[in-house]
Structure 1
Amino acid sequence: MSFIVGVRNFLLKILYRIARPIIFLMDPEDAHYMFKKVGVFLGSNPITRSITSLLFNYEHKSLNTTVDGIEYRNPVGLSAGFDKDGELTSIYPSIGFGLAELGSFTGEVCPGNPGKRLFRMVKSKSILVWYGLNNQGAEKISSRLRGTNFGKLRVGINAAKSNITPEFDLQDSIDDYVKTMQLFKDIGDYYTINISCPNTQDGEPFVDKNNLDALLIAVNQNRVDGRPIYVKLAADLELDEINTIVDCCVAHKVDGVVLTNLAKPSHNQEFIKQELPYHKGAMSGLPLQRISTNVIRHVYRRTRGELTIIGVGGVFSAKDAYEKITSGASLLHMITTMIFDGPQNINEINRGLVKLLQEDGFKSIAEAVGSRNPLPKQKHEPASEEVKNVA
């Protein structure tokens, strides 16, 4: 069966390579909305969902994993930022996703940033994003999604602060997050508190510990039983800033972190400089790959695996996915690989993960998490006999 799926994926890959130059003639945002319409149609009825699943889906029991009490059929998920208004949940399982994070959703309607907002950086294998949290607002979206049966798809609700003013007010900002949480209290499987959008008018004010403390107190007051809460971090933080946020998450008993959001070109050397098309925005894909994996390794060791980690950034192959998992990530998010490699690459990553697990003798994703990132010994742990003898 795996061989047949491999042949299927190979043929689909060739077809996408033929079609991609034509797709890339379109404006990136126009292409996004066109494919969104296609996805809505494919998810609209059982026949098109079944055909899509036959072409793109892949199942294997070793990919089944349970994280913070939530059962996932596989760890490969869609990142927030693609389905900003939560319109495509019916089709995601058919193209191989085990989870999808919707949004970001904000308390108020957000038009996003003006002008051109999406740029391809083909040689850097990246998308420069300057959207600015455009979405229909939590009230309208939650009203539409309420009562939806997501089936075997696990859904994350990504909550961000409304991007409608350059002025930061702490209480107004907290109320904005809480509004989204309350409106989605009966929708989805987990929350992500996005404190890291790089394209907003007032920056990233919740890097400040006092602000973050106040936000997480309010978040905890609005917890829903059985609904884990994760915090999404920026890619461009200094080590002490990462430590402050992570330690704060542990102190407030947040369930985990999403690592990481997009990378700002001003803080990144992982892209072809001549290809940068715009002076604003932040990059997805390959420029983020090494940064996010390094942050995953650091946070996993600092928290000794106490926090769940969702790894995001530059996952184009099963090897990339497995590196993040063995570094400490329990789940993964991705978008850019669909754009550059085609939607069939989602199930090719899942198929490759099965092989990599088998090669390492693991029977499940959970066994592989952090397996190549050994935790540091506690300072109070006694030295081994060998060390004592050498001393």
Structure 2
Amino acid sequence: MTTARSWWRRGDDNLRAEAQAAKDAAAQAFYELDTAQRDLEISIETIAAVDDSPEARRALGSFRALGERIDQVSAAYIATVDAHDIDRDELDHTAASRARAELTRAKDELVNVKGELERFQSSLTPLLGKAETQLARLAPARERAKQSLLAASNALDAARAAGLKADDLAARLAALAPELTRLNEGASKHGVQQTVQRADEMRREAEAVRAEAERLPERAQEIDKRLVSLRTRVQALGTRAEGVTPVLSELRRGFSAACWQDLQQVPEQAAQAVRQAESALAEARAARDGQRWADATARLATVRALMDDVDGAVGAAGDRLRRLKEVRKDPKAEVEKTRFVIRDAQRLAMQGRTTPEPRHARPLDEAVARLDSALAGLEGRHPDYWAFLTETAAVRETANRVVANIREERAQGR
């Protein structure tokens, strides 16, 4: 037979079990909130390490406010647990009911805050995705930079083993040492974006050093070949320059002063240019022996420019003599060549028209008159054949310019 005392004991046991269940549920909610908070902290740290935008700063402010709310409900939960010893034997009906109610309320608060946290976590998705994308670049960027530094160092060692000093490249590589130190200090100190940028800049500079170091043997060979080639050219052009004087003598004997006066300084100018080229060539050889590759290349460029000038001046004198002889022998050939160009332009100007456009006809008519005047200028005792050749060339240029204008206008539908 069940006594009243037994009935009350069973009731207390049920309330104790319900209070224990409420305590367990609250503990589970506390654990889940703590786990979610830790995950959120990782997300926030990821964003903070990468993003300094106003949106990111607002997110950090919201996280701090949410953290205060989490601390409040967590403290309330802990205080509630400490306030109720459910396992004590003398737990009565009233104490068990109060424990169940307060623990349930603490659990509900924890669950509500966890919901707020999850919603906030969801709102961070765009920022987090952007941050994770940038973080994903960090490790590969650092590794590429270090591999490039190693490759550059190896290339320098190989160049030195081949007898090439490469001091300038070594200095450039050594200048990267402070940057490597900062790179090793990591994104936590310098930020992800700066670290990735630093890694990329180091990689590019190291790759440039490596490429130049690998090319040093080939560059040395190229400079050696150019030294030999330009030495031969300087000697050949020196010989050719000596031949300008006889050409000028023939010009003076056979033609009026106007045909050769502008060439009188060519022999001295050519000789001076050859001397300058020989001096620059010696400087290039000294720079090559000292492995000053940039200096050697610059001096060789100077030699080439001087030789081009000599070549042009010497060639101009010989070409002047040849053309003057040709026009003196048969000036009509030059006239006919020029008339052909004018007539070709006139035919194009009349194509599809009964009268040409004045802007086309006028310069062509003037060209005909200029050609006749140039031919008449040869009738004197000492004709200026060079002025004649210069004028016929200018007439042909005028006709060609009219042709180009006509074709351009027709291409545009005008």
TM-score (norm 1): 0.17
Structure with the largest fraction of helix: 2
Q: Which has the larger radius of gyration?
A: 2
Structure with the largest fraction of strand: 1
TM-score (norm 2): 0.17
Structure with more contact order per residue of length (Cα contacts < 8 Å, sep ≥ 6): 1
